[in-house]
Structure 1
Amino acid sequence: MHRDEFENLKENVGELISINAFFSTTLQSQVALNFTDNGFGRPDYESVLFDIHVDCCSLSAKPFGNVQHLSFIKDEYEILFCVGAHVVLELSNDENIELKGLVEHFSKYVVETKSTLLALADVLTEMGKYEKARHFSELFLSGLEPLIQNQLACVTQSNIGLLDYHEGHYEKAMQKYETGVSMQLIQQTVELPSDEHDGRRHNLGLLYNNIGIIYIHNAKYDEALNFFQKALDHIFDNHIDITNVFSNIAVLYCYKCEYQLALEYSEKALTLEQDTLPKNHPQLASTHLKIGGIHHQIGNYDLALKCYQIADEIYRTALSPDHPSLAIVKANIGMIYIDKGISENHPIRGIMHSNIGLAYLRCCDYTLAMENFEKALQIQFVSLPPDHLNIATTYNNIAAIYFESEENY
């Protein structure tokens, strides 16, 4: 809003403000942050985020409702307030509001460095809304001007490849990554200013990292490690992107059952994330979840539980209540208590692995979903009669992976 209007609002803190039009809001804080867009770079405008608390018991309250099912973009989780709605203004304490760090991080690393369409695609990807993220990425790609098409097209195609990966289309993702590498290598032969050349080298490192992930899913660990090393050689030192490489190397060593090395790389990622990201960033939760998983695997249940609880606390702050990552961390916490007190083939273990598998299936992480469904099936074969409904349900869940992931299983 314009700075004069913002100052007027600040002068009326504690007063009743009436809204003279329909008032569109969202249940998703990250969607709201994207619309603030850092004032769109205009010096006379301020980005303002309203955190609205509604008294549903007030008899004088104006009508409002969830119009998500009627909205063109359903992932905005839109709540619409009627004309004449009134609010009491309170000024947030910047020293205490937890959202402040996320706002600053979003402004610095997304809004100020990318176009609005790509920034929105990034937010939607992080929210797990891959279809919408693809829509805005492809919309941006279709509007590129010829003079800048090569580099931005390469980066955007890489982002679309990442969406293919998240949706389980690994061969499609690999094709886009390899095309991106070829384009980047060709562009490196063009004489450019040193900073632009370094930026393209950094982008090439991101592609190498993505290719390494595909090799992990294909169980080609030596090839994966080779590409991760290339990524480390290309990505800027101490850049937040390098934490993804560390995390992926940790995953690789987990698959090889080399848990000490997996811990070392996970902790490298966590150290840099803690120095770079706001304390309630979802990426920190993801790393705590992975470290907890390693401790869980080697039997360090108390350490694993502590990591899971930290991840749960961050996720509850940063994500919507129905985000699948919350289900995953809750299920892992449940598995800790089961592992500490229930026999190896107890039926409840099969149920927990099925639940974890369903959460990963919702995240389109078909590899981890399949691992958990197969564990559930192994336990069910031992602990249940062969015609038990739970076995049929697990087979059905595995079939869903084959159906959704197309060529990959």
Structure 2
Amino acid sequence: ECDDDTVGITGELESSFMYTTFFKEIVLEIDFDEKKTIPELADYACQQKVYANNKKELELINEFAQKYHGNINNNPVRWYTAECFTYKMLNKALGNLDVNTLLKTGFFMRDLHQNIQQLHDEQLNGKDKPFPSIVYRGQTMTQQDFEIKIQQDKLMSYNNFLSTSEERYVAADFIRRKLRSDNTKIGVLFIITIDPSIKSVPYARIAKFSKFPDEKEILLSTHTIFRIQQIKEIQEKEMKIWQVKLTLTSDGVDEQLSALTKQIRMEITGTDWQRMGLLLWKMGENDKAEQVFTMLLEQAPDDDNNKAYCYHHLGLMKENQKPYNVAIDFYEKSLAIFEKTLPPNHLKLATSYNNIGATYNNMGDYSKALEFYEKALKIGEKALPSNHPDLALSYNNVATAYHNMRDYSKALEFYEKSLKIREKDLPPNHPDLAISYNDIGSLYQHMGDYSKSLEFREKSLKIREKALPSNHPLLATSYNDIGSVYRDMGDRSESLEFYEKELKIREKALKIREKALPPNHPDLAISYNDIALVYTNMGDYSKSLEFYEKLLKIREKVLPPNHPDLATSYNNIGAVYYDMGDYSKAVEFYEKEHQIYEKTLSPNHPDLAMSYNNIAGVYDDMGDYSKALEFYEKLLKIREKRSASESSRLGCFLQQDRRGVL
């Protein structure tokens, strides 16, 4: 075969190109333990549905596990061209940004790249005939993809390893076979000019290692960038296809993406696996990042620096997953080591204070959050230049605490300080700028200034659509936020449009998780919760209830009976029944929620106040005024104890920004 036409083209240079580039850079540095990684990949491949019942593929997987031994005797190239699971899994994972498969195939990706580089150097300096200046590639694609991604004088790229041929007829025959099996697509013949002076991506002749030597294959390593020189429709024997002339290039990269790449590269520091953990976290892959930091902790349990680093980042992961008490525990372990070993104004202490503050913020203890945020800010203002991005983070965190305490003028003052630094210091499509715009949008929404809110929310979305992977949870959050502004404005049709965009991302995440995870896995619960919330916002209460009940089923099986997540489930189901007008069912679930909160929360906690408020409201609507009064009085007691500024919990806004990495 010339190549699998599922290998994806990236129009211009999308964020997936940047993230997979980072992945490749890190993978090339890692010294993999092949005794562990080879059998792990083989087991993982056997579990994939596409191979599980395929005797031929299973035999090849078993042979790979027995015979593969790294970059020896061109082993990687031989296996890549063997028409088996290796090239299919690796290229699909690079194209789809499938992190789980990328982690499993990482060692093979490294070996294959190094093998191509080795062959390239040998062939360039050897007595063989010189490299061809033109190669050919056949591919089929949808009309829509062609129109979006193939545009005159624009850049296009491949994240994947790229098969081409020295022979035009090989590429044309490949298109012919593909169109016979699927005539809904269009055929594209790429004519690629290669300048041998370009060193950014190695390529090599691999015909003598291939199962199909007559195809005269030239294999290019990942992350090729091309300039589109010409597009025209041609008649190729009986076929009408598109001919696209490309030139391999290493320059002309989109300036904004280049600036963002440079900035994020500076933020992903540490050893090879530490960098991998941080990259996964930035991609929204918290579970995978947690696995990496747990592994690092187990590998060097007596190294204080490593322990502090890993505890800190495990705190980040746990905060994202919302067992906040566990996050605090990890942060405090890290902080205890730092306080023993570092001077009192060290920036790592500021980072720890910021993250502990963030967790208290998410727990609803805003005064405690502000206390830690101000400790961090005090260090930052002494130790950092006035336009440093870490100062912007501190200002933003202080703003968040004031925002949640309903001191809107103070919140706006600190949000604007943060934004001023970020607009000056960061590239225009950096995710932290999106966070600033989104937070200010949230503030204006709570102040009732919906046009201002929409302006900032849309700025945030515009950046996220450029800078984040297309299935990143923060994109879904942005769609939800804009939908909520339109809802508050009373514009139901616009609101629904954004909720539907959010739903697509949430459903995509669920589909991946349902395939890969056991039925009671916590990540499935997260997906069910996200989808239920979208349906609630869309007013589809029966659908919302369906997903909340799936979520509750998992939580009742895997959590202790007084776990706060169970209380949240009971609250959400109660709220849906309330919206449906079924007050007796609503009060049944609200009562279950408040029983847990009375056992587990402090007597003046805002979640307990909210619970009393909900129950009182339902009894009020049912006409049971004595019961309503009983719960309103409980609510009043809490409000009298708490300061007026904290009397009502607004909830947590974007959590991502509150934290820093070391």
TM-score normalised by the chain length of structure 1: 0.68
Q: Deviations over 1:291-310 (max 9, x none)?
A: 11111221222221221221
SS of corresponding position for 2:19 = helix
1:32 matched to which residue of 2?
21
CA contact (8 A) 2:502 2:534 kept: no
Out of 287, 292, 313, the residue aligned to residue 436 of structure 2 is 287
Aligned to 2:103: 73
Shift of 1:340: 2.5
Q: From 252, 256, 264, give the equivalent of 1:98.
A: 256
* Inter-CA distance 119–234: structure 2 relative to 1 (3 Å threshold): same
1:231 corresponds to which residue? Answer: 376
Corresponding residue of 1:116: 272
Give 1 or 2: higher strand fraction.
2
The one of 191, 195, 219 aligned to 2:364: 219
The percentage of counterpart residues that share the same residue type is 21
**Aligned AA for 2:18?**
S
2:301–2:307 Cα contact (<8 Å) kept: no
Q: Does the 8 Å CA contact 1:286/1:311 hold for their aligned counterparts? A: yes
Match of 2:474 in 1: 325
Q: Give a deviation string over 1:25-65, Cα, whole Å, max 9, x none.
A: 9945213124336997xxxxxxxxxxxxxxxxxxxxx9995
Question: CA–CA distance in 2 between the matches of 1:248 and 1:179?
Answer: 22
- Letter paired with 1:340: M
Partner SS, residue 160 of structure 1: helix
Q: 2 CA distance for matches of 1:141 and 1:217?
A: 26
After superposition, the C-alpha distances for 1:208-232 in whole angstroms (9 at most, x for unaligned) are 1111122222222221111111111
Superposed counterparts of 1:104-253, under 5 Å: 104-110=262-268, 113-144=269-300, 149-188=303-342, 197=343, 201-235=346-380, 236-237=383-384, 238-253=387-402
2:415 maps to amino acid? S
Query: Equivalent residue of 1:320, what SS?
Result: coil
Is residue 396 from structure 1 mapped to residue 544 from structure 2 by the alignment?
Answer: no
Distance 1:79 1:398, change over 3 A: same
Mapped partners of 1:264, 1:174: distance in 2? 28
Letter in 2 for 1:396: E
Deviation for aligned residue 1:331: 2.7
Corresponding residue to 1:340 among 466, 477, 489: 489
Distance apart, 1:319 and its partner CA: 1.0
Which digits, 9 at most, give the CA deviation of each residue in 1:116-150, with x for residues without a partner? 2111211110111012112222333344495xx21
**For the residues of structure 2 that align with 1:215 and 1:70, how far apart are their CA atoms?**
32
- Partner deviation per Cα, 1:271-330 (whole Å, 9 max, x = no partner): 222232222111111221111111122122222122122111111111111222222222
| 1:363-374 matches, cutoff 5 A | 373=533
**Pair 1:329–1:72, CA change in 2 (3 A):** closer
Q: Which runs of 5+ in 1 are unaligned?
A: 1-17, 41-61, 189-196
Secondary structure of the 2:401 match is: helix
The match for 1:308 is 457
* 1:69–1:222 Cα change, 3 Å: closer
The DSSP-based 3-state class of the residue aligned with 2:249 is coil
Amino acid at match of 1:171: N
Q: Tell me how far apart the structure 2 counterparts of residues 242 and 75 of structure 1 sit (CA, whole Å).
A: 39
Q: 2: distance between equivalents of 1:173 and 1:95?
A: 40
Q: Structure 2: how far apart are the matches of 1:335 and 1:181?
A: 38
Find the residue that maps to 1:114 and give its secondary structure: coil
2:363 counterpart letter in structure 1: N
Q: Which digits, 9 at most, give the CA deviation of each residue in 1:366-407, with x for residues without a partner?
A: 8xx89x959959x96xxx9xxx61562474387489679984
TM-score, normalised with respect to structure 2: 0.44
SS at structure 1 position matched to 2:255: coil
1:334-371: per-residue Cα shift (whole Å, max 9, x none)?
Answer: 3333332359xx9x78x959968x96x99x9x8xx89x
Letter in 2 for 1:389: S
Determine which structure has more spread, i.e. the larger CA radius of gyration: 2
Query: What letter is aligned with 2:379?
Result: H
Aligned length: 340
Separation in structure 1 between the aligned mates of residue 423 and residue 8 of structure 2, nearest angstrom = 35
Look up the equivalent residue of 1:158 and give its one-letter code. Answer: H
Distance 1:124 1:284 in 2: 20
